Every structure is written in C-alpha cells, then in structure tokens.
Structure 1
Amino acid sequence: MKINLKRIDEDYHFELKNERGHVTYIDSKAAVGGHDLAPSPMEYVLMGVAGCSSIDIISILKKQRQEITSYNVEVIGHREKVGDATPFQLIEVIVYLEGTIAPAKAKKAAQLSFEKYCSVSKTLEPTATIAFKVVVNKEEV
C-alpha cells in the first residue's frame, strides 16, 4: 500500500493519491495556519474507523441475509495531550441500522468488526479505546 502526497499551496493544503489513482485532500483549520479546505489528518483517522468497520458490518450482515435499508455511523474522537501531541484516547462509534435486521446479529457483527476484523481499529487499539453502540430501528441493542 502506497500513498503519494503533493503540496498544493504555501501552507497545509495537500493532495493525496493512492496507487489506484484515487485522489483526496487534507488541510488544517485556519486557526493553525491552514485554509480549512479539506478534513484534517485526525478527521481522516475517524473516517477510517467508520469506513473500515462499516465494510465489515455490512459484509457480515449481508452473508446472514439481513436486509439493511439504512446505514449510518457517527464517530466521536476524544483527544488528550500527551507530550506535544494530542492523540485519540477514546473513540466512540454509534452504528445506526434500519431494516429487517435481527438486533443480536447486528450487535455481533459490530463486535466482530471492532474486536477482530477492522484493521483500522486494530491499528489504533494499543493507544485508544474504541467503544461502540449499535442502534437497530431506533432502539439500542
């Protein structure tokens, strides 16, 4: 896996491209000298958690023939100062599903993702606690 980064302006706006040619951008908030034209690197970390776990959860539920009509995830990152950095200490994930879905299957799919399959979560596991909740048809399971 390889990513190339190219600086776009004189500050912190960057273009990133993967080996398959997909392009995205990173910037920083104006408060720290950026132009706020794209998500920050730490926001991309949270997006990675959301995307990776979602691929797992949907894949598991599809194999179990669960019918998902709506799928949304909210990820909240809590950071604490450690030396000069502010890494995530806690990442809260709330998975919202709607459809003909057995609540126990949805909860198990999320548990398998966060505890076994999601490479992003497993990468963060040594330094951040990842807590998750599953809500099926507006009821937490």
Structure 2
Amino acid sequence: MAHKITTNWKGNLLFDSDNPSGHHVLMDTDVEGQKREGLSPKALMLSSLAGCSGLDVVSILEKMKVKVDDFKMEVEGLLTEEHPKHYHTVTVDYHFTGKELNEERINRAVNLSVEKYCGVMEMFRQFAEVKTTIHLHNG
C-alpha cells in the first residue's frame, strides 16, 4: 500500500502538506524575525511516533476492556551534532492515570505496540536507539 502526499510552499519558510485523510499540516522552522506558523518537521516526526503508538495502545486497551482516566506520551529526541542532524536517541514515556490501574494489561498493551504493531517505532529503530518507560499514576 502506498501513501502519497503533496507539500506546497506558502512563502518564506512555510509549507502546507496534505495527508491521504484529506487533512493538512503546516510546517516551518525558527527564523529570527519571522512568526512561526507551523510545526518543525523533525519534531513532527516525534509526534508521529507518539500518535502511532498511542493509537495502538488505546485500541488494545479497549479490546482488553481496560479503563484509564488519562493517557499521555512524552517523547524526547536527541539530535546529532553534525549535519545532516538526525535523532540518535529517542525516549518515549507513557503516562497513565486512573483508579485501580491494571498494570499487567497496560504493560502488555504498550509492549505490543512497541514490539509488534507500531510501524513508525520500527522506522525510528532503523536510525535511533528507542527507549520506552511506562508510568502509572493512581489518582
């Protein structure tokens, strides 16, 4: 299956990229004196990683009938010093909040995403060390 997108230059350093779903994202970068209107392409890769894994985890937890009150992921990427700069290490912290969280099933859901289902995670592994940690917050 192929995915095709079109990215259009909108002036200055702003680009508008579509998605097979029909939605759009604006991308640009830090330039002194210019207002930021979009997301950084490299940081957007980290968002893609979180989104891919998060979709897996939520779907698996629903099938397991596991309830959580809140779920968020914090992703940090460390860039190389030399050009072309790319992520060499990526850390994904999974945070779950709720009452009587089922640690075993939550761990299973995250591990299934990390090890089996998340294609973006697998892509990252081709060029970076990926570290994951699960945090349970009983509230």
Fold match by TM threshold 0.5: yes
CA contact (8 A) 1:28 1:35 kept: no
Deviates more, 1:88-97 or 1:13-22: 13-22
CA contact (8 A) 2:101 2:138 kept: no
> Counterparts of 1:133 and 1:34 in 2: how far apart (Å)?
37
Deviations 1:45-73 (A, max 9, x none): 00001100000111111111101211111
> Counterparts of 1:42 and 1:130 in 2: how far apart (Å)?
16
CA contact (8 A) 2:68 2:101 kept: yes
> Counterparts of 1:16 and 1:46 in 2: how far apart (Å)?
17
Quick check: 1:15 aligned with 2:10? Answer: no
The residue that corresponds to 1:98 in the other structure is 97
Residue 36 of structure 1: how far off its partner (Å)? 2.4
> Counterparts of 2:10 and 2:15 in 1: how far apart (Å)?
5
How do 1:77-116 and structure 2 match up within 5 A?
A: 77-82=77-82, 84-99=83-98, 100-116=100-116
> Counterparts of 1:108 and 1:135 in 2: how far apart (Å)?
13
> Counterparts of 2:30 and 2:89 in 1: how far apart (Å)?
22
Deviates more, 1:97-106 or 1:126-135: 97-106
CA contact (8 A) 2:78 2:89 kept: yes
Residue 138 of structure 1: how far off its partner (Å)? 5.2
Quick check: 1:57 aligned with 2:57? Answer: yes
> Counterparts of 1:130 and 1:76 in 2: how far apart (Å)?
10
SS of corresponding position for 1:2: coil
> Counterparts of 2:109 and 2:130 in 1: how far apart (Å)?
15
Runs of 4+ in structure 1 deviating by more than 3 angstroms, as ranges, are none
How many aligned residue pairs are there?
136
> Counterparts of 1:138 and 1:30 in 2: how far apart (Å)?
42
- Quote the RMSD (CA, aligned, Å): 1.8
Give me the TM-score of the superposition, normalised by structure 1. Answer: 0.88
> Counterparts of 1:34 and 1:138 in 2: how far apart (Å)?
43
CA separation of 1:42/1:34 partners in 2, compared to 1, >3 Å: closer, same or farther?
farther
> Counterparts of 2:67 and 2:129 in 1: how far apart (Å)?
30
- Percent identical across equivalent pairs? 25
